[in-house]
Every structure is written in structure tokens, then in C-alpha cells.
Amino acid sequence: MHFGLIGLGKMGFNMRERARRGGLDVTGFDRNLDVSDVATIDELIGTLPAPRVVWVMVPAGEVTDKVVAELGEKLSPGDLVIDGGNSRFTEDQRHAAQLAEEGIRFVDCGVSGGVWGLQNGYGLMAGGAAEDVETAMPIFDALRPKGERADSFVHVGGIGAGHYAKMVHNGIEYGLMQSYAEGYQLLAAKDIITDLPGTFRAWQKGTVVRSWLLDLLVKALEEDPGLENIDDYVEDSGEGRWTVEEAIANAVPAPAITAALFARFESREDSSPAMKMVSALRHQFGGHATRPAK
């Protein structure tokens, strides 16, 4: 199979390589021509056999919108577009409808594996019509870890289901990371713990909390014990917010994920107006002492 891959950043670059190692022909396009196989999307389309399959791996939002719109103008009826980026699932219906006007098929696919995907393979969650997912199956097979298909690939449901599943996956990721991080601080806070990295290392095998994130935590501490080279400011790319919005829309209690998202917001504050107000109010009603501003 020969397919096109648009977006050769941290994820797409490695995915091209893994697909090639899996025996597929891939023509990659990126605005950074140093890593691109072709100079333009037109050229990419020109290299592909019909029906063309183009995997889009660019940042969610405006950039994905633009690429989908361009593909809608340039591809032909029967061609297939797969959005493998972290698009919000609600965008998928719109993209699918836009492409369907030109007879172009659409599949959304949540991709998990990060920068380790080249080596370990990717977990894949696809949404769309069964026949369209089937068309893309050779790509999914090349990208996922070797072994049973059901281990790391799922056709989750209709359009949007793949990205919905990836959104929830990322929400869980927020909660897990926050939990490990709080455990790290609790261990570090107690002087009876004399081997903090060793504690996490000992949890890596056999314990209830063993996981790949725990392995990465151990790796991070090996690289920078005490995390002295890393600031405590934590970004977010949107999926945590969307997960919390979905929790509200569906009246699903999601306190752990929500708290993990809010902890990131808190990480960005130099000082907290809210906590100043709590201190001011304790003083107002109870005459409790406040500390002078730093």
C-alpha cells in the first residue's frame, strides 16, 4: 500500500518511519522541507495511486481545518482522509461532511504512543464507516505494536468515536500523572524516606501501580534527580478541558480528571488571588492573622 502523510512533526515523522519499516510506501509532506519527501500537497497527491489515502497528522484546530479544506479541493471521489491528530471529536462530523460533499471518505483516529511509538508501536482508536476503516487497515497494522490486532487497535464506532476515545484516554492520562506526581511530593516530604527513586523503581514490577507512566517517572528521576532543571509550569493542549466539558455535558462525575486539569492551571500562577481572598475572609470573620504579601 502507498499512502500520503501530511505533518512530519514529533509524531508524524516517526509514524512515517514505522509505516515504512512495516513494508508500506509513504510519501510525507511537511512545511519543513528538510524532512519532507515532496515540496507541496499537490505533489504528494500526484504520487499516490487511486483511491488515494492521506493521513493528516498536524496540530488540532485551525491547521487541521486548513489541511482538510485543501484536501477537499484537491482529492477525488472515493479517496480517503484519515485525521490522526488530536482533533476534538466534535470537529470530525464537520470535516466528514465537508469532504463528503466531494465524495471523499473520512476516518478519525486517536493515536497514542508519543515519541516512543516508532519503537513500541502506537495504540490506535478509529472512528468511521467499517469499509473506510478497512481501507486504512494496512496502515493501522503497520503502526500498531505487533501481536493480536485487538491488543492495540479498535474500531470504536462512527465518525468522531476515535477522537472521543482518545480524548478520554488523555483525560485518564491527566489523572494518572497527577496521582503519581502527588505521590512523588508526599514521598519527598518525609525524611524517613531515604531512597525516593528506589521506591518508585521497586514499584515498577509486580505492584498494583506499575505502568508505563511509572516507568517514565523513574526515567525522569534518573535523568534529573530532584527535577532541578524543570520548571513547575505545566501546559495543556485542550484534551483535558474537552474531557471535563464532556463530563459536565453528560453529568458524569470526574473529580480526579478535573482536579488534575485545575492543578495545571494552578501551576501557572505566581501568586493566587483566590487564596489571598480566603486569607482575607478568615481575617474578616474570625480575626485570624494574615501573612504580609511577599
Ligand X SMILES: O=C(CO)[C@H](O)[C@H](O)COP(=O)(O)O
* Angle between the N-to-C axes of helices 89-100 and 62-74, in degrees from 0 to 180, rounded to the nearest 10: 20
Nearest residue (beta carbon) to ligand X: 237
Closest approach of Cβ 151 to ligand X, in Å?
18
266 binds ligand X (CB under 6 A): no
Q: Residue 264 and residue 97: Cα distance in Å, rounded? A: 35
240 binds ligand X (CB under 6 A): yes
| Amino acid at position 281, single letter | L
> Measured from the CB of residue 67, what is the shortest distance to ligand X in angstroms?
18
173 binds ligand X (CB under 6 A): yes
Q: Which stretch binds ligand X (CB under 6 A): 61-69, 89-97, 200-208, 229-237?
A: 229-237
d(CA 197, CA 183): 12
x-or-dash string of contact with ligand X, 152-171, rule CB under 6 A = ------------------x-
Beta carbon nearer to ligand X, 75 or 167: 167
**Per-residue mark of binding to ligand X, 88-117 (x: CB under 6 A):** ------------------------x-x---
**Helix extents (H) in 102-192:** 117-120, 130-135, 137-143, 149-152, 161-188
The mark string for 3-42 relative to ligand X (x by CB under 6 A, - otherwise) is: ----------------------------------------
**Residue 278 to residue 94: CA distance in whole angstroms:** 44
Check: CB of residue 112 under 8 Å from CB of residue 169.
Answer: yes
Binding residues with ligand X: total (CB under 6 A): 10
- Cβ-proximal residues to 221 (8 Å cutoff; 6+ apart), any chain: 196, 197, 200, 227
Among 43-51, 190-198, 235-243, 248-256, the segment contacting ligand X (CB under 6 A): 235-243
Q: Over the Cα atoms of the chain, what is R_g?
A: 23
CA distances from 220 to 37, 128, 179 (A): 34, 38, 16
Nearer to ligand X, 175 or 240 (CB): 240
Measured between alpha carbons, how far is 255 from 253 in angstroms, rounded to an integer?
A: 6
Grid cell in block for residue 115: 515519541
C-alpha cell recorded at residue 220: 525522569
Scanning 16-24, 36-44, 232-240, 271-279 for contacts with ligand X by CB under 6 A, the matching segment is: 232-240
- Only segment of 23-31, 94-102, 129-137, 236-244 that touches ligand X (CB under 6 A): 236-244
State in angstroms the smallest separation of the CB of 162 from ligand X. 13
Give CA–CA dist 269/241, Å, rounded: 18
Which residues are designated catalytic?
Answer: 166, 173
Residues that bind ligand X (CB under 6 A): 86, 112, 114, 170, 173, 235-237, 239-240
